A and B are shown apart, each in its own frame.
Chain A
């Protein structure tokens, strides 16, 4: 009788050990799987984006004025978040809206926001020197061809449209600057 009980106990403990081992293994597998999804920078795919210097000098000032107001893309909840002097300020700096000029960090953040909006399509635009720019959300939302809460912002070949297209098409800095300046002027 006693032996019988002992054997049963041993068998039950054995089953529990196996079950516990199974749970542990599943947990470790999950942990490993989860960790592998948090890749470092080496695991990220790099996509191209047109000239950052031209963007920060000419395109960002236009986007800041036209798109980056506090009631539009100057909101923290926007996927394409635009920082700037007259709109939202970067959280790690202590500037106020309407205060100091747009900072380098804000310009770089705007570049990242625009480039990462549609990365694969942007890579294609880089590869074909802008000829597929009309596939980008950036362009189509502004043109009102994709649903856009702010509605239609530009007509095709408007200065605002050209400001973006000239940058995407890698036109020279002076050409982009002229388009963007013409787009900014009526917004002042």
Chain B
């Protein structure tokens, strides 16, 4: 048995307390994303916060239920104005590295999600197809589409494409699927 002084014991306790505190909502990178989200504008339902990084909150760290495996928002461009509009009834198919693909359908806000408990063994990298449009790159490890497909801003006008953003997920108008309640693909 190594003799331990009261000072060493106190120091060890300080480290234990600090360690416990650091596992409790204080991870700076995800917290910065959460803190940067705009205030909730409606009720927190499946239509809320389109275009925002869903898993920032719907994750073990974020604490919002349900936790998601993957989630995002799909948009289309208004044929007349060119403005972005939500794209409902779009089939989003996700191909993981280990198993069969799964799909989700976008709702009226263009949002889609697959709950984590329904895809616990999701294996990265992923490939994704929204409607008839496939991603050019893989998804490395982030299930929030909006982490990379950011909404337009002052420095990223139009579709939101920029130096660190591929722009929002865009499909052609009418690119819907009967299995998602839409017309013929």
Interface, chain A (partner B; CB < 8 A): 65-67, 69-72, 74-77, 86-91, 95-99, 149-151, 187
Contact = CB atoms under 8 A, between A and B. Distances in A.
Interface residues of B, number: 19
Contact of A69 (B148, B163, B167): B148
Given A65-B137, A98-B161, 12 more contacts: A65-B138, A69-B138, A71-B147, A72-B141, A86-B166, A87-B137, A96-B161, A98-B166, A98-B167, A150-B140, A150-B141, A187-B138
Interface of B: 29, 124-125, 136-142, 147-148, 161-167
Given A70-B147, A70-B148, A71-B148, A95 B163 contact: yes
18 contacts: A66-B125, A66-B138, A70-B147, A71-B140, A71-B141, A71-B147, A72-B141, A74-B164, A76-B164, A91-B163, A95-B163, A97-B163, A97-B165, A97-B166, A98-B136, A98-B161, A149-B141, A150-B124
B71 to A, nearest CB: 14
A77 B29 contact: yes
What 9 A-B pairs come out closest when comparing CB atoms?
A71-B142, A72-B140, A70-B148, A86-B137, A69-B140, A96-B161, A89-B163, A97-B166, A98-B166
